[in-house]
Amino acid sequence: MALYTPQLASFKVPAIDNEPMSCIVNGKEVKTGKLAKQPMPATHAKHLCTYHEADQATVASAIKGALAAKAEWEAMPWNDRAAIFLKAADLVSGKYRYKLMAATMLGQGKNAWQAEIDAAAELSDFFRFGVKYVEELYSQQPLKNAPGAWNRIEYRPLEGFVLAVSPFNFTAIGGNLPGTPALVGNVVLWKPSPAATYSNYLVYKILEEAGLPAGVIQFVPGPPEEVVGQAISHPEFASLHFTGSTLVFKKLWKDIAANLDKYRSYPRIVGETGGKNFHLIHPSAEIKNAVNQSVRGAFEYQGQKCSALSRLYVAASVWNNGFKDQLLTEVAKLKVGPPTDFTNFVGPVIGRPAFDKITGYIKQAKEAGGEILVGGGADDSVGYFVQPTVILTKDPKSVTMVEEIFGPVLTVYVYDDADYEKTLDLIDTSTAYALTGSIFASDRKALLHATNRLRNAAGNVYYNEKCTGAVVGQQPFGGARASGTNDKAGSISIFYRFVSARSIKENFVGLEDYLYPSNLA
Ligand SMILES: NC(=O)c1ccc[n+]([C@@H]2O[C@H](COP(=O)([O-])OP(=O)(O)OC[C@H]3O[C@@H](n4cnc5c(N)ncnc54)[C@H](O)[C@@H]3O)[C@@H](O)[C@H]2O)c1
Ligand SMILES: N[C@@H](CCC=O)C(=O)O
């Protein structure tokens, strides 16, 4: 999909305060007694909407309704199921493009460019490429048939229901987590993030307008522990499709294990989680490109991408010969403010807890001897704004080089050119994560050497390009170690996790005798 359409220049973000919104169970809005607000990060004084949260009875009825919708959804011809998602993709990139973008800008604090990448381009790509991948999956059939026999594979949806638990930071991931299992015939209970409820609600409404039958996806915003806990302890729970923090994913995995004896099948657990992503700047790197890519990688969407650049390893020869000056000059120029002013590059972070956590890390880094080279400030008087911050550390294992911050904070470690091999070891071993990383070098041997040495340090690797911005269909996305199950969103691989294949052999030739030739001697 083409990005940044000309109309965007005159795009007026519509007012979307107080849109009606609630849980949607069996296609109907459910008004419960429990109300919640999604705060607006750029103003925090207002809110986008008040919505009804799922209570226990709502979750129970959503699960029951999903299971009731299952037989018909499974039996729907593939072409009809595919048509719904293709229609939804057209609505996302067409009729609802600006509304989705506005919801993502105001509700999640993205600037217009980032909102278009996410809510329009990536979401419609997930749906369109999803259809292509499922076509490919279904057409994968045994290559061999013995004479008189026919083999085939049926890609059944899972027995029971899938639980999709989505993060705040990508509207597209919100749509993809329930969309992927639903596309292959599953029914899904979708618990969105409380910080992205409005945009996610719109995604649900778009699927509904595209023809998704009532009950196939149940939209149940609500208190995370309660809603998720209730779903996980249900005997028909079949799978978790999660994206979010490592801590929460590990907890949910343990909760699932504790309930294992209740389930009919071993649940499929798919989780894409945190990152501590790196740029490695080799002595042969082209400086201007490495600087610009680092600025985008670290500060786009306030560093609130799982893939955001967070630890930067720069050769001393490069750092002292222009890299440092260019980096600091560019970061100091970044304009910070609400996304409604299109000249702002950096917007608000998602909310009070994120603001406190990020500023807490900056404080810790200072106390541990880190030098703030630029930024370091923050302002929560109106909205949650953290200045883009660059910290220089002499300790490559200091806290901001190791832990996920999820904010506009970049820590730099300058290595002696002679210590290149040691630096590769540091990158590989100093964090628990392995999501994304980039190597900047004009020496091709150096690129290949680092790629081999860092084989398990990232699921997505880039050469001379920032470590964010994976595109559906081009760079399948995900990481291993503490970063997730690496099932690769935006590729065919993920669909295997939500089907349970059945092999069927049909015999056309009757057996004349049960004895083997060896028995006849
Ligand atoms: N690897 C990836 O593809 C990827 C993509 C996007 C975001 N992320 C990660 O997501 C995190 C940021 O998103 P977030 O702040 O929404 O994450 P989060 O873990 O706080 O929340 C994710 C989801 O889990 C729910 N949740 C939170 N606590 C829960 C609990 N105790 N029990 C049950 N459910 C609970 C939330 O309501 C939300 O729906 C970062 O760590 C980021 O790296 C990873
Ligand atoms: N597609 C995104 C990953 C989503 C993480 O939050 C990227 O590569 O930047």
Q: What is the CATH number of the domain that holds 130?
A: 3.40.605.10
Residue 313 belongs to some domain of the structure: yes
Residue 5 belongs to some domain of the structure: no
- Show which residues are catalytic: 272
Ligand 2 mean position, distance from CA 516 (Å): 59
Q: Which domain holds residue 361?
A: 277-463
Residue 23 belongs to some domain of the structure: no
What is the β-pairing status of strands 35-39 and 47-52? antiparallel
Distance CA 153, CA 507 (A): 15
The per-residue pLDDT for range 451-486, each reduced to its tens digit, is 999 999 999 999 999 999 999 999 999 999 999 999
Mean pLDDT for 194-205 is: 95
Q: Which atom of ligand 1 is nearest to the CA of 275?
A: 43
Cβ(15)–Cβ(105) under 8 Å?
no
Predicted local confidence at residue 251, as pLDDT: 98
Q: Is residue 418 located within the same domain as residue 493? A: no
The per-residue pLDDT for range 276-320, each reduced to its tens digit, is 999 999 999 999 999 999 999 999 999 999 999 999 999 999 999
Predicted local confidence at residue 8, as pLDDT: 56
The per-residue pLDDT for range 230-264, each reduced to its tens digit, is 999 999 999 999 999 999 999 999 999 999 999 99
Q: What is the CATH number of the domain that holds 340?
A: 3.40.309.10
| Token pair belonging to 318 | 């490069």
Cβ(241)–Cβ(267) under 8 Å?
no
The per-residue pLDDT for range 65-83, each reduced to its tens digit, is 999 999 999 999 999 999 9
Q: Please tell me the number of the ligand nearest to residue 166's CA.
A: 1
Q: Please tell me the number of the ligand nearest to residue 459's CA.
A: 1
pTM: 0.97
Q: Is residue 286 located within the same domain as residue 184? A: no
For ligand 1, residues with CB inside 6 Å are 165-170, 173, 191, 193-194, 224-225, 228, 243-245, 248, 251, 272-275, 306, 404, 406, 435, 477-478, 483-484
Q: Is 305 in the pocket of ligand 2 (CB under 6 A)?
A: yes
Cβ(115)–Cβ(301) under 8 Å?
no
Residue 519 belongs to some domain of the structure: no
Rg of the Cα atoms in the chain: 25
Nearest protein CA to atom 10 of ligand 1, as residue: 244
CB atoms closer than 10 angstroms to residue 374: 19
Q: Is residue 239 located within the same domain as residue 296? A: no
Nearest protein CA to atom 5 of ligand 1, as residue: 306
Q: Is residue 135 located within the same domain as residue 269? A: yes
What ranges in 314-378 are assigned the alpha helix state H?
A: 316-318, 324-333, 352-367
Q: Please tell me the number of the ligand nearest to residue 165's CA.
A: 1
Q: Is residue 253 located within the same domain as residue 122? A: yes
Q: Is residue 413 located within the same domain as residue 290? A: yes
The mean predicted confidence, pLDDT, of the chain is 95
Q: Is residue 149 located within the same domain as residue 289? A: no
Ligand 2 mean position, distance from CA 150 (Å): 43
Q: Is 117 in the pocket of ligand 2 (CB under 6 A)?
A: no
Ligand 2 mean position, distance from CA 302 (Å): 13
Q: Under 8 Å CB-to-CB from 75, ≥6 apart: which residues?
A: none
Distance CA 62, CA 60 (A): 5
Distance CA 190, CA 519 (A): 59
Predicted local confidence at residue 33, as pLDDT: 82
Q: Is residue 168 located within the same domain as residue 300? A: no
Q: Is 476 in the pocket of ligand 2 (CB under 6 A)?
A: no
Ligand 1 mean position, distance from CA 416 (Å): 37
Ligand 2 mean position, distance from CA 467 (Å): 9
Q: Is residue 78 located within the same domain as residue 62? A: yes
User: Can you tell me the ipTM of this complex?
Assistant: 0.99
> Torsions phi, psi of 131, nearest 5?
-60, -45
- Number of domains into which the chain is organized: 2
Q: Is residue 191 located within the same domain as residue 49? A: yes
Residue in the structure block whose two tokens are 């909310």:
351
Amino acid at 468: T
Q: Is residue 95 located within the same domain as residue 179? A: yes
Residue 101 belongs to some domain of the structure: yes
Percent of the chain with pLDDT over 70: 96
Q: Is residue 112 located within the same domain as residue 243? A: yes
Distance CA 29, CA 489 (A): 30
Residue 7 belongs to some domain of the structure: no
The per-residue pLDDT for range 316-364, each reduced to its tens digit, is 999 999 999 999 999 999 999 999 899 999 999 999 999 999 999 999 9
> Torsions phi, psi of 371, nearest 5?
-105, 125
